[in-house]
Amino acid sequence: MQKKKIILKNKEKFIRLMNVISWLDECRWSEENAVDIINYCSDDIKNCEKILTHCLCYITDRVMPFERIWEKGGLVFSELVKEYSKGNIPFEYIEKKYYIKYPSKDGVEKFKFKSDNYEFASHYITNDYECIKQTLQILEDYNRNIVKFIVDILEKYKDNTDLLKRVAFALHLLTYSLNNKKADTGEIVRILGNEAEFNQNFKIFEKKSTNGKKRLWCCIRDYKKGPHHDIFKKAIVEIDSISEKDKEILVETWDKLPMNQIELPGDVWNNNPIFRENLFGDIIEDINNIPKTWGMPKIIRELFEQLSEDEKGEYYPEQFDITFDFVPRMCGNKLCDICLFGKNGIDLICIPSQDKLCPVALISCGYKKECKNDKEDCDIIRNISKGLCKGTD
């Protein structure tokens, strides 16, 4: 049976779409909009501890408001990480202290994460606990420092052009599963230390990199742009066992890793049928016959790889994650008449005004961006997004 492929039938429209998505993504990650929203337990938490806290928060980021995870989970996990990072406290003590069971009102045994001052229960807490436990156990071999773990991968595979993907695979091994099968920590440590085994399993990971790895790609993305990008680089500099020259090289290496190796984190927003079918109806050939199991991460990657290197330019699939903000505001409310992708484009909402906020970015995604009021310097004013979407009319 021949494998079904996605065919890009209108390259010009897809490139226009990527241009607009890229603009929205730039707004999203500007200093005005991208802030570290994790609620840490104290002001003196180290940068490497912030990165590990961020990782643990993302492990629990499923089927519950993200604000609750970053606010309450951040407090518990940062306190856990701060104590864990001291290195002289047995892991078993950490485990028993921060993961406790308690009887509910109806007598059913339940679990929660609890620190000295805070508590938090994620939706899939027993599974999240196993992932967190696995992560912390493996990091025992890396001075309990997740940034040192990543640096180890950067140094070991520095000559590979797919280095960022390899970092992603290593983090997947660290926290989640091995080829969808639960692996014990000893097996994972062995794979991490054996280049041949690592490469063999990495090839399997690559084939499934767009499927079910939302939290993983969100972590990688955050370490490459936004506030956690700077925190991550500072954490590299703070590793005592690395020379000053090597620190500079590692930071430069990290900054240069291509963003187009990051997959789009799949979620309900970019898989929304109004967004998917109406915006991509004229871009993808026979869109209605695409298997329902193919989420937008796979679709965007397949379309992206049909562009030439020149056409790809500075675009990359992960930028479509602006749907997290765009779809609930626009598609969810069926605001097609004022959508920048609709038949009216920006005609009803763009009011160029010096020193004012751009209404297009604000209405579309809630992003603050200063209006440039300059057709030479703003593609959006030139209405390049107009008519890209069929709308719901």
**Arithmetic mean of pLDDT, 190-202:** 96
Chain-centre distance for alpha carbon 296: 14
Residue 97 lies in a domain: yes
Q: Is the pLDDT of residue 17 over 80?
A: yes
Lookup: tokens for 211: 């499927």
Closest CA to 60 of 41, 75, 45: 75
For 188: left if phi > 0, alpha if psi spans -120 to 50, otherwise beta; the answer is: alpha
Lookup: tokens for 349: 């909402």
Confidence of residue 266 (pLDDT cuts 50, 70, 90): confident
Residue 85 lies in a domain: yes
Residue 358 lies in a domain: no
CA pair distance 22, 94, nearest whole angstrom? 43
Confidence of residue 4 (pLDDT cuts 50, 70, 90): low
CA pair distance 116, 44, nearest whole angstrom? 17
Residue 305 lies in a domain: no
Closest CA to 300 of 217, 235, 376, 234: 217
Residue 128 lies in a domain: yes
In angstroms, the Cα distances linking 129 to 50, 111, 136, 220, 341 are 19, 10, 11, 21, 42
Residue 301 lies in a domain: no
Global pTM?
0.93
Residue 194 lies in a domain: no
CA pair distance 209, 111, nearest whole angstrom? 31
CB 295 within 8 A of CB 210: yes
Q: What are phi and psi of 88, to 5 degrees?
A: -100, 5
Q: What are phi and psi of 113, to 5 degrees?
A: -90, 130
**Residue numbers of the domain that contains 128:** 38-143
Q: Which helix (H) or strand (E) holds 110?
A: strand 109-114
Residue 382 lies in a domain: no
CB 13 within 8 A of CB 388: yes
| 32-53: pLDDT as tens digits | 898 889 999 999 999 999 999 9
Q: Which residues contact 43 (CB under 8 A, 6 or more apart)?
A: none
Token pair 């998917």 is at which residue? 276
Q: Is the pLDDT of residue 1 over 60?
A: no
What's the domain count of the chain?
Answer: 1
| 150-192: pLDDT as tens digits | 999 999 999 999 999 999 999 999 999 766 666 688 999 999 9
